[in-house]
Amino acid sequence: MEYKIIDLRDFPNLLETSIEYVSQRWGLNKKIFEDCITSSMNAANSLPRWYFMMKSDLIIGSYSLMTNDFVSRQDLWPYLSNLYVEEEERGKQLGAALLNHARREAYMLGFKKIYLCTDHENYYEKYGWTHLTNGYHTWNRESKIYVAATLGQE
């Protein structure tokens, strides 16, 4: 089966579907994602951006590029956020494909580095990410911040 990764800005017909998808996967208030995703569609700035991995006409994964991932280190950006692959699609290197896509997109948007916040260990390191520092969230949680060079500058 062939997969493709789309920039939601190029597929406005998927706006409602994408909002439902992300809010259900992350279990957060739909209004948060609805506001963020909808306002990103025509933003004058290059960020935020939302990307979806499609298998035929089904969304099976996603990520976003953001100016901040609700973390104290606002001097670091852009952030890769909301990385998700459907459970039945895991183990096929689709997460790696999304990570590499994000690194290429960030490069095309003019960035040399890209960051992410996570509690996961020994996942991102496999794909060239390095633990840089820790950051703090307003809900009293600490996260690791990873960095990777964007792809395209070799």
Q: How far is residue 59's CA from residue 7's CA, in Å, rounded to a whole number?
A: 12
pTM, 2 dp? 0.93
CATH number at residue 121: 3.40.630.30
Residues 29-41 have pLDDT tens digits of 899 899 999 999 9
Mean pLDDT of 8-14: 97
Q: How far is residue 28's CA from residue 32's CA, in Å, rounded to a whole number?
A: 7
**Domain span at 92:** 3-149
Domain count, the chain: 1
In a domain, 68, yes or no: yes
Taking alpha carbons only, the member of 9, 96, 88, 99 closest to residue 55 is 88
Q: Quick one: pLDDT band at residue 69, thresholds 50, 70, 90?
A: confident
In a domain, 154, yes or no: no
